[in-house]
Amino acid sequence: MRKLIVTEFISADGIAEVEKLHATWNAEMDEFKNAELSDSGAMLLGRTTYQIFAGSWPKQTGNFADRFNALPKYVASKTSQKLDWKPAELLKGNLAEAAQKLKQESGGNIYVHGSISVAQELLRHGLVDRIRLLSYPVVVGEGKRFFAPGEQYQLDLISAKRFSNGVLALEYVPTRATK
């Protein structure tokens, strides 16, 4: 069974809005993202993240971009849309059921990049096997939080690494909701 892995950029106070985060990208972050890509067999994205990625990634060149662009993309959207960044498939119906079916298929692990509302729903349903965070050394004070307000989870830290630019690479296993 494939794992469903959520990967996010967040601030120290849990805000997951990339445009509010500032740190110099470095080779350690490249290594972290390359390891994710090597482990990835597919992407599960929300509509907005898919549209943002589709607007930029197909224009990128190089080994990473070629591999990233070639991954199957599953898009969770309540509005029907045309998916130009291929290979891509629109998920219809219940997201939790669709994600569970994807996990049962063969292939590499499924990564959720960004797509905060998708990640939150999958967490709520206990479908997330790993959470990988690049935590930036900044407090932004407001914005969309990675963990939904009012929801509580027990997380087991399985790895932590500090990069030279102050960013922390953290990996957790969510073990249960603690309401």
- H helical segments located in the chain: 27-39, 47-56, 63-70, 95-104, 116-124
Identify the pLDDT of residue 176.
Answer: 67
Determine if the pTM surpasses 0.85.
Answer: yes
Domains of the chain: 4-177 (3.40.430.10)
More confident call, 108 vs 177: 108
Tens digit of pLDDT for each residue in 120-175? 999 999 999 999 999 999 999 999 999 988 888 999 999 999 999 999 999 999 98
Q: What is the mean pLDDT of residues 86-103?
A: 94
Q: How far apart are CA 25 and CA 19, in angstroms?
A: 14
Identify the pLDDT of residue 78.
Answer: 84
Model confidence at 93, pLDDT cuts 50, 70, 90, reads confident
More confident call, 69 vs 17: 69
Residue 31 neighbours by CB under 8 Å, 6+ apart? none
Is there a contact between 43 and 14 (Cβ–Cβ < 8 Å)?
Answer: no
Q: Comparing C-alpha atoms, which of 13, 10, 32 is closest to residue 21?
A: 10
**Least confident stretch, 17-21, 34-38, 94-98, 135-139:** 17-21
How far, in Å, are 43, 120, 151, 158 from residue 125 at the CA level? 18, 9, 12, 21
